[in-house]
A and B are shown apart, each in its own frame.
Chain A
Amino acid sequence: MNLRRRMRVPLVITVCLMIAGISLAAAMQSVQIKSGVLRATPSFLGKVVAKVVYGDRVEALGNKNGWSKVRPPAGVKNSGWIHDSALTYKKILLTAGQSDVAQGATGKEIALAGKGFNEQVEREFKAQNPQLDFKMIDQLEKIIVSDDQMQRFLEAGRVRPQGGAQQ
Chain B
Amino acid sequence: MKTSRREFLRTLGRLTRWSAGIFPFAGLLSSCKTLDTVSTIGAQVGAATGVLTESQAQSIQKSGKAVARSFEDITPEQEYYIGRTVGARILKKYSAYPNKSATAYVNQIGQSLARVSDLPETFAGYHFMIQDSDEINALASPGGLVFVTRGMLRCCRSEDAVAAVLAHEIGHVQRRHGLQAIKKSRITSALTTLGIEGTKTLGGQELSELTETFEKSISDITQTLINNGYSRKFEHQADKDAVIITKRLGYDPNGLVDMLKEMENRLKPGRIDFVKTHPLPERRIADISPVLGAPAMIPEARQRRFQKAFAGV
A and B assemble together: yes
Chain A interface residues (CB < 8 Å from chain B): 3-4, 7-8, 10-11, 14, 32-34, 36, 44-45, 54, 66, 82-83, 85-86, 96, 98, 100-108, 111-122, 124-125, 128-129, 131-134, 136-137, 140-141, 143-145, 149-150, 153-154, 156-162, 167
B129 within 8 A of A: yes
Instruction: List residues of chain B with CB within 8 A of the CB of A54.
Output: 77
Known pairs A44-B116, A143-B107; A14 contacts B20 (CB<8 A): yes
A116 → B minimal CB distance (Å): 4
A99 → B minimal CB distance (Å): 8
Extra inter-chain contacts (8) besides given A115-B198, A120-B199, CB under 8 Å = A3-B6, A11-B13, A14-B20, A34-B80, A101-B59, A141-B124, A141-B127, A150-B115
The one of B13, B55, B88, B121 in contact with A86, judged by C-beta atoms closer than 8 angstroms, is: B121
Q: Is the CB of B299 within 8 A of A157?
A: yes
The one of A32, A44, A102, A128 in contact with B62, judged by C-beta atoms closer than 8 angstroms, is: A102
Instruction: List residues of chain A with CB within 8 A of the CB of B58.
Output: 102
B233 within 8 A of A: no
Known pairs A33-B121, A120-B207, A137-B145; A10 contacts B16 (CB<8 A): yes
Of chain A, the residue at the smallest CB distance from B116 is A167
B34 within 8 A of A: no
B42 within 8 A of A: no
Instruction: List residues of chain B with CB within 8 A of the CB of A158.
Output: 299, 301-302
Instruction: List residues of chain A with CB within 8 A of the CB of B103.
Output: 143
Tell me the complex Cα distance, A75–B96, Å. 42
A22 → B minimal CB distance (Å): 13
B192-208 near A? 1/0 per residue, CB < 8 Å: 01111111001000011
Tell me the complex Cα distance, A56–B208, Å. 31
Of chain A, the residue at the smallest CB distance from B299 is A158
Instruction: List residues of chain B with CB within 8 A of the CB of A11.
Output: 9, 12-13, 16
Instruction: List residues of chain A with CB within 8 A of the CB of B76.
Output: 32-33
Known pairs A11-B12, A116-B210, A118-B199; A156 contacts B305 (CB<8 A): yes
Instruction: List residues of chain A with CB within 8 A of the CB of B145.
Output: 137, 140-141
Q: Is the CB of B301 within 8 A of A116?
A: no
> By CB atoms of chain B within 10 A, which of A121, A153, A167 has the most?
A121
Tell me the complex Cα distance, A27–B33, Å. 32
> By CB atoms of chain B within 10 A, which of A122, A140, A160 has the most?
A140
Instruction: List residues of chain A with CB within 8 A of the CB of B198.
Output: 96, 112, 114-115, 118
Tell me the complex Cα distance, A120–B301, Å. 48
Instruction: List residues of chain B with CB within 8 A of the CB of A112.
Output: 197-198
Instruction: List residues of chain B with CB within 8 A of the CB of A111.
Output: 75
Of chain B, the residue at the smallest CB distance from A112 is B198
Tell me the complex Cα distance, A7–B115, Å. 50
Q: Is the CB of B87 within 8 A of A160?
A: no
Q: Is the CB of A104 within 8 A of B197?
A: yes
Of chain B, the residue at the smallest CB distance from A6 is B13
